[in-house]
Amino acid sequence: MKRMLMCALFLFCALPFWLIADGDAIALTAKAQEIFEQNNPAVYQIRVIDIKSHEKSIIGSGFRISADGLFATNYHVISDVVDKPEHYRIEYHREGRKEGTLSLEAIDVAHDLAILKGKDSGDRPLALGTSELKQGSQVFPMGNPLDVGMVIVEGTYNGRVGDAPYKQILLSAAINSGMSGGPAFDSRGKVAGVNVSIQGNDLSYLVPVEYLKQLEKQWREKGRPLDWADVIQKQVLKRFDHVISTALKSEWTFANFGSLKVPQNLIGQVIKCWGKSQLEDPSKKRYFFYGYKWCESEKEIYLSSDLSAGTIGYAFFWLESKSLSPLEFYKKFSREYSKGRFYREASEEEVTEFSCQNHFVKIATRDWKGAYCVRRYKKYPELHDVFLSFAILGDSPRKYIIQVGLSGLNESLARKFLKKFLGEIQWAG
């Protein structure tokens, strides 16, 4: 996982009686032990092996989902095999011993899932259940964190978050690096979700098991795709099309931001907004006000260790001064306008250089200078990053900047969103 916190690992073994607080604690520990013993034979460490050095490059977890050799894990665990198949292979291990190699059969990058195939051993797979649990239900993630061995963790189910059909389960539990792709069980020992990420402070996310069932069904009906890049590109575009379509169909609300009236959060739980304002050097009578309203999606689509997509963000900046000289104020204003925000760093192997055009446009009945920049993903030619920065013109001591960034979509979809977004901004006076 990209975000990792060093948290305690819960290795379940017999506990001294004086460590047990009450009867409930005894019952929960017994349940965790029961689920661990029942399902441990079908949970594995997944290793991405560097072919030249023969050493593991990435580790995660996975589990058997069928008697004919299918395994499930996260896409981000094995993504480098898709990105550079000549450099890596996939193996599955138990208790430090190699059990076999795995081939990649199906992926769902929007939900961060992958299905792998190993030998047809006839071993018992895990039972897939449902993610529709009651608030406060116990959930038990399993996996091999930090390459220390298989563990099970007790957590609390806190519902499903996000926008359908791209929801995740919110879990109160510490899922550590290396547990990605492992199963999370309900109290009956059935898989409710797949470990995917940790937010911090014992807050983690699972992929609902229903998305895994859909992916397996699709594989059994259509088989292994011939072109992984085409599959990835279509899945990213489908996800972004859903996000943008949801925004365009929604009834937007507005809030005053200085002289502007700007759109509020447009896409429900997908985007989170923050704001801040400050007055610089008030004791020295140097009046300079700076404030912003910043909104950005929290979840991105992991494509490889070097590339991600599927994010959207926008921000409004307000600068005002009554005491700085025109030159000082202009320098501060220009510096904010030229800052590149809302796009991820990526190597020249992954994306082209940004191609930018400058325009003078009208927004909210006022004149603005704008830069419109686009870059293309080299392995996924229909995917683009789009970045815009607009600065209001005129000699007013109050200045505004508008910036928007979208990563991993086609330009026509970006233009649809931008046309509505910029057209909705109003001048409040």
So what's the pLDDT on residue 20? 32
| Residue predicted with more confidence, 248 or 29 | 248
- SS3 state at 45: strand
So what's the pLDDT on residue 286? 66
Between 115-124, 232-241, 284-293, the lowest mean confidence (pLDDT) is in 284-293
CB 156 within 8 A of CB 144: no
So what's the pLDDT on residue 122? 72
- The answer to whether residue 421 scores a pLDDT higher than 70 is yes
| H or E element in which residue 272 lies | strand 271-280
Comparing CA positions, the residue from 393, 398, 242, 246 lying closest to residue 317 is 398
CB 40 within 8 A of CB 150: yes
Mean pLDDT of all residues belonging to the chain? 88
So where are the chain's domains? 17-222, 234-427
- The answer to whether residue 426 scores a pLDDT higher than 80 is yes
CA 30 to chain centre: 34
The alpha carbon dihedral of 64, 154, 203, 4 has a sign of negative
Residues of the chain above pLDDT 70, percent: 91
Burial 116-154 (b: 16+ CB within 10 A, else e): bbbeeeeeebbebbebebeeeebbbbbbbbeeeebbbbb
Q: Which pLDDT band, with edges at 50, 70 and 90, does 282 fall under?
A: low
What is the average pLDDT across 167-179?
91
- SS3 state at 215: helix
CA–CA gap between residue 114 and residue 215 (Å, rounded): 8
Q: Which pLDDT band, with edges at 50, 70 and 90, does 269 fall under?
A: low
- The answer to whether residue 91 scores a pLDDT higher than 70 is yes
Q: What is the pLDDT of residues 3-55, one digit of tens each?
A: 333 233 333 333 332 233 344 444 557 899 999 999 999 999 999 999 999 99
CA–CA gap between residue 375 and residue 389 (Å, rounded): 15
CATH architecture of 17-222: Beta Barrel (2.40)
Q: What is the pLDDT of residues 93-130, one digit of tens each?
A: 999 899 999 999 999 999 999 999 998 877 899 999 99
So what's the pLDDT on residue 4? 34
CA–CA gap between residue 59 and residue 197 (Å, rounded): 14
